[in-house]
Copies of this chain bind each other. A is one copy, B any other.
């Protein structure tokens, strides 16, 4: 019995997370890029994964800033919530925190492109300035920018792919100078965007890949936060 207690104590000690009192920034949701006051280009991210990660990180004792774009998820407990709409707003919010941050998890789906022009009035369907073509320009690449700027921050990206999941994740890890990329296949029904479940492959620079099979996002988030805690 005494050994059981020692084991239990040991496991409690081990379970004190490396994330305790660390500053963690998590982005969530999907940015929206306005075409005019009514229309926008958006994406299918619900924010569920990012919110679950924020909750798990807060439970692990981290000081969590959740930068959330257009999500309808309930606010996690004990988390500082910063609402944003566009990719540029998200970039500004992340960069404001970056210097004092230990871990950044970019779970949001950030629009790669935005309309070149945003009209200040609703474009009428039959007007001369009709919407037959929308010209897009590239948005800032927040993850890549952070990868260039980083000092000691541990930088985690997400790769939502529909083909060649691991290959794209490996490429993303190197190209963005990230420390970890969590890849998920958004083409599979029942996982990923808007689902309550997900299945991911975790790619790191110097570690073997970790496959986390299909599970509720809350469970996956817990495992991912534990994994990140062992790597920082």
Q: In whole angstroms, what is the CA distance A64 to B85 when docked?
A: 34
Q: In whole angstroms, what is the CA distance A138 to B133 when docked?
A: 11
Chain A residues 108-149 with CB under 8 Å of chain B are 109, 111-113, 120-122, 124-125, 131-136, 138
In the complex, A163 has a CB within 8 A of chain B: yes
Contacting residues, chain B, for A40 (C-beta < 8 A):
41-44
Q: In the bound complex, do residue B122 and residue A132 qualify as a contact, i.e. CB atoms below 8 Å apart?
A: no
What's the least CB distance linking A90 to chain B, in Å? 16
Q: In the bound complex, do residue B133 and residue A133 qualify as a contact, i.e. CB atoms below 8 Å apart?
A: yes
Choose the segment among A30-38, A205-213, A216-224 that binds chain B (4+ C-beta atoms closer than 8 Å). A30-38
In the complex, A161 has a CB within 8 A of chain B: yes
With A38-B109, A121-B162 given, name 8 new contacts (CB 8 A).
A37-B162, A38-B44, A38-B160, A41-B41, A120-B162, A122-B162, A132-B135, A133-B136
Chain A interface residues (CB < 8 Å from chain B): 32, 35, 37-44, 72, 109, 111-113, 120-122, 124-125, 131-136, 138, 160-163, 168, 186-187, 193
